[in-house]
Amino acid sequence: MIDTVHAIQAGVTLAALQRQSLLEALDNRVLLCHALELNRIALITQSERALSAGEAQRFAALVQRRLAGEPIAYIVGQREFFGLPFEVSSAVLIPRPDTELLVELAMDRLPAQGRVLDMGTGSGAIAVSLAHTRKDADVTALDVSADALAVASRNASNNNARVTFLQSDWYSALQGAAPFDVIASNPPYIASGDRHLAEGDLRYEPVGALTDHADGLSALRIIIAGAPPHLKPQGWLLMEHGYEQSAAVRALLSDAGYTEVQSWCDLAGIERVTGGRLTA
Ligand code: GLN
């Protein structure tokens, strides 16, 4: 019976560690694979294998971190997004499945050999997925954080994606750059003081990637106001936002003169991405 981390000791079998776990079954399996450098199949085929003292110690340390609340993705240093493996660290937001919607919408609107910009790239999830899937695309990604850009550029090379990275506070380093067919962004959009910031994985994520320290719309406003000189005629601006922000973002786009303003739903049926295009 595994009822404390101290019970994870030499001699305990993989089967016992899965029958009786301190964590959710999936978290437990992921950490067990990580600690023992095994794949999922091996957990089944080697179920009677007993842990060595070193393995037990390694696994117990990971379980302890998870019990303290640290996100699984940071503990194992990786998260899958758009079918690709992404390195993650506490310098970057953990990619969410919801954001795959933004990648698909950007890809659908990107002409052959088109130019696309990812603003606030973080781990590089959006830019790298686009560049990996659309080898013809000319992909630029920017972030204000040098630490995030280091993670993103490793993700680009590990996933065989050609991306130009720029350290930039929103549009500031883009002066003189050629305009884009599509600008996509998953900016910080959680309002300061939102209780979600103090819950679950978000407690461990970079605060500057989550909140604008204001009403949640300030980064979206900057992106919308600054996009026109960087968009080609007919170009699209697409932004992810919070579950209650779609009407506000549509209004910001319409007021700024964008056309075809609309929102798209994520897998949960929540309006999650809003965009519009510029007519010349
Ligand atoms: N989608 C994230 C969350 O709600 C927030 C990401 C962001 O602020 N861009 O957990």
Of 113, 29, 121, which Cα lies nearest the Cα of 76? 29
> How much is the pLDDT for 20?
85
Q: Tell me if 114 is assigned to a ligand binding site.
A: no
Shortest-distance atom of ligand 1 to CA 188: 8
Beta bridge partners of 116: 139, 182
d(CA 221, CA 67): 38
Domains (range + CATH), the chain: 5-68 (no CATH), 91-277 (3.40.50.150)
Q: Tell me if 189 is assigned to a ligand binding site.
A: yes
d(CA 94, CA 88): 7
> How much is the pLDDT for 2?
60
Ligand 1 surroundings by CB, under 6 angstroms: 93, 96, 186-190, 202, 210
Per-residue model confidence as pLDDT tens for the chain (280 residues): 466 787 899 999 999 999 988 999 999 999 999 999 999 999 999 999 999 999 999 999 999 999 999 999 999 999 999 999 999 999 999 999 999 999 999 999 999 999 999 999 999 999 999 999 999 999 999 999 999 999 999 999 999 999 999 999 999 999 999 999 999 999 999 999 999 999 999 999 999 999 999 999 999 999 999 999 999 999 999 999 999 999 999 999 999 999 999 999 998 999 999 999 998 6
Shortest-distance atom of ligand 1 to CA 241: 9
d(CA 181, CA 236): 6
Q: What is the pTM of this model?
A: 0.94
Of 180, 196, 92, which Cα lies nearest the Cα of 143? 92
d(CA 216, CA 189): 4
User: Do you know the residue count of the chain?
Assistant: 280
Q: Tell me if 121 is assigned to a ligand binding site.
A: yes
For a mutational test of ligand 1's pocket, the pick from 126, 190, 240, 272, i.e. the residue with the most ligand atoms closer than 8 A to its C-beta, is 190
> How much is the pLDDT for 199?
96
Q: Closest Cα to atom 10, ligand 1: which residue?
A: 202
Could you tell me the distance, in angstroms and rounded to a whole number, from the CA of residue 236 to the centre of ligand 1? 22
d(CA 66, CA 144): 29
Shortest-distance atom of ligand 1 to CA 187: 9
The two three-digit tokens of residue 226, written as one number: 């600054």
> How much is the pLDDT for 3?
66
For a mutational test of ligand 1's pocket, the pick from 121, 210, 222, 274, i.e. the residue with the most ligand atoms closer than 8 A to its C-beta, is 210
Q: Tell me if 171 is assigned to a ligand binding site.
A: no
Shortest-distance atom of ligand 1 to CA 211: 8
Backbone phi, then psi, for 114, in 5-degree steps?
-70, 165
d(CA 237, CA 181): 9
Q: Closest Cα to atom 6, ligand 1: which residue?
A: 210
Shortest-distance atom of ligand 1 to CA 201: 10
> How much is the pLDDT for 280?
67
- Residue-by-residue DSSP string for the chain: ---SGGG--TT-BHHHHHHS-SS-HHHHHHHHHHHHT--HHHHHHTTTPBPPHHHHHHHHHHHHHHHTT--HHHHHTEEEETTEEEE--TTSPPP-GGGHHHHHHHHHT--TT-EEEEES-TTTHHHHHHHHH-TT-EEEEEES-HHHHHHHHHHHHHTT--EEEEE-STTGGGTTPPPEEEEEE----BPTT-GGGGSGGGGGS-HHHHB-SSSS-HHHHHHHHH-GGGEEEEEEEEEE--TT-HHHHHHHHHHTT-EEEEEEE-TTS-EEEEEEE---
Helix (H, G, I), strand (E, B) or coil at 201: helix
Q: Closest Cα to atom 5, ligand 1: which residue?
A: 210
Could you tell me the distance, in angstroms and rounded to a whole number, from the CA of residue 190 to the centre of ligand 1? 7
Q: Tell me if 187 is assigned to a ligand binding site.
A: yes
Shortest-distance atom of ligand 1 to CA 189: 8
For a mutational test of ligand 1's pocket, the pick from 79, 96, 211, i.e. the residue with the most ligand atoms closer than 8 A to its C-beta, is 96
Could you tell me the distance, in angstroms and rounded to a whole number, from the CA of residue 165 to the centre of ligand 1? 22
Could you tell me the distance, in angstroms and rounded to a whole number, from the CA of residue 185 to the centre of ligand 1? 12
Checking phi first, is residue 213 left (phi over 0); if not, alpha (psi -120 to 50) or beta?
A: left
